[in-house]
Amino acid sequence: MNWIANENRYEKMTYNRCGHSGLLLPAISLGLWHNFGGVDSFENGRAMLRKAFDLGITHFDLANNYGPPPGSAEEMFGEMLKKDFASYRDEMIISSKAGYRMWDGPYGEWGSKKNLIASLNQSLKRMNLDYVDIFYSHRPDPDTPIEETIGALDLIVRQGKALYVGISSYNAEQTEAAVKVAKTLGTPLVIHQPNYSMFNRWIEDGLQDVLVENGMGSIVFCPLEQGLLTNKYLNGIPEGSRASKAGSFLSKEQVTEEAVQKVKKLNEIAKERGQSITQLALSWVLREGRVTSALIGASRASQIEENAAALQNLTFTKKELDRIEAILAGKW
C-alpha cells in the first residue's frame, strides 16, 4: 500500500525566501547527518522522514559522506524516495555537498573541480536523482583557487545537475571572494550553511552582514549545539547520549558545569514562554528573520514534531532577549 502524505501538511509550516532568489525553504529543515546511515534502522529513518514531510518540512539536507559508512545516508534516502516520496519529488528540496574526505587519493576531498563534479555524480546515483535542488561546497579549500571551486558550481548548474548552489562554513572574507567570482560567472550563490547556535555565534561577527548585502540566505546547522541546548544534560550525561560516546562531535568536556547552568537558566525563560529549551533555542536562531532555516537532526519522529512546534512562538520581547544575553554572558 502506497504511503499518502498528510493533506494538511502546508497549513502550519512557515516558508522563508532564501535571499533574493525564488527558493523558499521551510523555517525548519531536516538534516540526515546522523541516524540515517547504513548502521541505523531503515524503518526509524523512514518514520522520521514521513513525520517531517507531514509537518510541511520539505527540505532534506545530505552530504556525500553522511552515514556511517560514508554515502549510506544518501543510499537510504534514495530508497525512501523510491518507496514513499516518488510522487512528491517536485514538492521537495533535496541538497547535497562535497568537500570532506569521501574516497582515497588526492581528489577524494576539498574543492577541486574534479572532486566536486565526481562527488555529485556519485550522490545522484546513490539517490537515483537526475538533479539536486541545492549543491554546496562543503568547506573552503585553502589550496584550490576559489575561481576553480566556484567555477565547478557554475558548471554543475549549467549541466542541470543542481538548481541552486551555495557554500558551507566559509567565513565572511571567503564568502565575499566566492560571491565575487560567482557574479562574474552569472550563477549566484543563493545560500550559506554555517554553524550557529546560542553557544556559537561567530556568524554575527561579519558573515551575516555579508549575506544580507549580497542577497544570500542562510540555513544554520547545529542550532541545538549537538544536543547541549536540550533537556538531555540537565542532570548529568546519560548513558547512550551523544556526549557519552567516544569520538562524538559533542564531547564530555563540552558539557561543563557553566554550560549546564546556562541551559537551566535558559530553560526557565523557555517555560515562561510555553516552550521547551529546544524550542527556545530554535526560535532564537530564527529571530529577526536573518536566518532562512534552522537545520535540525533527530533520532526519532517525536523530536521532529517538538522542533517544528517552535514556530508557534518566534517573537521575543526586548526583556526576554536582554535576559538571554545576560545568561549567555554568564551574568545571572
> Can you give the CATH number for the domain in which 112 is found?
3.20.20.100
In a domain, 250, yes or no: no
Q: Give pLDDT tens digits for 141-189.
A: 999 999 999 999 999 999 999 999 999 999 999 999 999 999 999 999 9
> Residue 220's beta-bridge partner residues?
294
* All residues at 6 or more sequence positions from 327 whose CB lies less than 8 Å from its CB, including other chains: 262, 265, 266, 269
- Residue 234 is predicted with a pLDDT of 79
- Residue reference for cell 537510504: 76
- pTM for the full predicted model: 0.94
Q: Domain for residue 26, yes or no?
A: yes
pLDDT at 240: 58
User: Could you tell me where the beta strands, DSSP code E, fall in 154-235?
Assistant: 162-168, 189-193, 217-221
User: Are 47 and 301 in contact, with CB atoms under 8 Å apart?
Assistant: yes
Residues of the chain falling short of pLDDT 70: 235-252
Is 262 inside any structural domain?
Answer: no
Question: Cβ distance 224 to 200 under 8 Å?
Answer: no
Domain contains 332:
no
Q: How many domains does the chain have?
A: 1
CA angle 38, 122, 171 (to 5 degrees): 90
Instruction: Report the distance separating Cα 67 and Cα 39, nearest Å.
Output: 8
Handedness of CA 324, 175, 170, 126 (dihedral sign): positive
Phi and psi based region of residue 301 (left: phi greater than 0; alpha: psi -120 to 50; beta: remaining): alpha
Nearest to 142 by CA among 102, 103, 105, 169: 169
Please check whether residue 318 lies inside any domain of the structure: no
- Which cell numbers in the block locate residue 65? 559522506
Crossing angle between the packed helical segments 301-308 and 42-54, to the nearest 10 degrees:
20
The CA distance from 175 to 145, in Å, is 13
Question: Quick check: 130 and 100 in contact, CB under 8 A?
Answer: no
For the chain, helix, strand, coil in percent to 5 are 45, 15, 40
CA distances (Å), origin 84, targets 1, 47, 271, 309: 10, 11, 37, 24
Q: Tell which phi-psi region holds residue 35, choosing left (phi > 0), alpha (psi between -120 and 50) or beta.
A: left
Integer Cα distance of 72 and 139 in angstroms: 21
Residue 145 counted as domain residue: yes
In the prediction, which pLDDT does 1 show?
A: 76
* Alpha carbon distance 320, 169 (integer Å): 29
Q: What is the pLDDT of residue 236?
A: 61
Domain extent for 69: 15-234+288-312
| Structural domain contains residue 323 | no
Would you state the pLDDT for residue 295?
98
Q: Domain for residue 182, yes or no?
A: yes
Residues 317-331 pLDDT 10s: 999 999 999 999 998
